[in-house]
Amino acid sequence: MATRVNARRLLAGAAATGLLASGAALGMTGVAAATPAPSPTPSVTAPGHHGHHDRCEWKKGHWEKKWVPGHWVKKWVHQDSWRHGHHHHGWVMKWVYVPGHWDHVWVKGHWDCRHHHPVH
């Protein structure tokens, strides 16, 4: 029974400590906002650590070839027909198969942050 009471006290103490610590952290945000920002100095990273941000590069917008597989498209086509003894020509909406082909698409500029390994 004494063990349960001690465990409860320990849990209650840990919870109170956590609440006090989080309250202090919230109080410090106001203090941090009131203090002036440190002077801009270059940050030094550990020699063994390399962040992925130093490997990001800007890829300019460019045209790129892209393979478009064959597909069906509903589009207007000019069609000649013979109706009731008369020649008719006009535009009709039909399903048309477009075979696979290369197309040029515009790729917008973007940051490329893939893990590029330097070539030695």
State pLDDT tens for residues 34-84: 555 555 544 444 454 455 556 789 999 999 999 999 999 999 988 887 777
Side chain identity, residue 79: Q
The contacts of residue 75 (CB under 8 Å, 6+ apart) are: 93, 94, 96
Instruction: Determine phi and psi for 65, rounding to 5 degrees.
Output: -80, 135
- Name which of 39, 116, 105 is nearest 66 in CA terms: 105
State pLDDT tens for residues 63-77: 999 999 999 999 998
CA atoms within 13 A on the CB side of 107: 13
State the alpha helices, DSSP H only, in 1-120. Answer: 2-34
